[in-house]
Amino acid sequence: MTRLAILIVSYNSRSDLETVLRSLTETAPTVPHEIVVVDNASTDSTPAYIRERWPGVRLIASESNLGFAQANNLGIRNTSSELVLLVNPDTIVSGSDVDRLVSVLESQPDVAVVGPRIVDGMGRAELSFGAMISPWAELRQKILVRGNDRGVSPITAIVDRMTRRTRRVDWVSGACLLIRRQDLDQVGGFDPRFFMYAEDVDLCAAVRAQGRSVLFSAEPQVVHLRGRSGVAAPERVRQAYRRSQVAFYAKHHPGWLPFLKAYLKIRGRLPDTPN
């Protein structure tokens, strides 16, 4: 019986898929699993590539671009495993680290979600967890993330130190996130209002609202070659981020929403209404 479904949502990610699928199959997890690619109507021949190059990978081809949240929901509905691992196409995930994640989750019954330590292609730690999104938490996260990305020594040292310790957190990154299906079912999966970005924070918030825990585990390590998916259409990615930000505040911090919209409008960043 398949105990783990590894879901990879793809949109024009053919070049990245070769790397992540090779990493998951060359040293495959020992836990019984299946790998499922949910393709969001890519225009780079991803479905044909998966069928021809990776016959052991199950393909779910959407007729339209559903976004990250709804595409994951589609994959969740079409699998029945006890555990679900969400993996970005621009990652390198070894089977041994998948097994470590499963072991960590199974050792702590009160934990619903666990995320690994994530590093970039140069081995520099990413801040892949944090406090619940709020104006102050966003500011703190942004300072740390941008300083880390720019290689500001004191900040890179802080982020590295933060990611060396396993801890209970409010959320972990959807770039690599393991969750129990029973918890997914309890919260109804991802909120489809989030096309791209903040859906992982929202999911973790829903899980915590049920009295369950979210864990960042410092032992498993995943490489995230981030940024590739947004290179081809940076403005569309920025718009998607701002829409999700507005949707998140409307749902979780409605009192702050008018201030956020005013700030974004002044900065010329208030997102267009999606078609």
Average pLDDT score over residue span 250-269: 94
pTM of the model: 0.94
- pLDDT tens, residue by residue, 111-145: 999 999 999 999 999 999 999 999 999 999 999 99
Give the least confident one: 135-149, 196-210, 218-232.
218-232
d(C-alpha 110, C-alpha 12), whole Å = 37
- Strand-strand pairing, 176-180 and 83-87: antiparallel
> How many angstroms from the chain centroid is the CA of residue 24?
17
> Nearest 10 degrees: CA dihedral of 5, 9, 10, 14?
-30
Asked if the model's pLDDT at residue 149 lies above 70, the reply is: yes
Query: What is the C-alpha end-to-end distance of the chain, expressed in Å?
Result: 42
Per DSSP, 25 falls in state: H
Asked if the model's pLDDT at residue 275 lies above 50, the reply is: no
Number of Cα atoms under 13 Å in the Cβ half of residue 39: 22
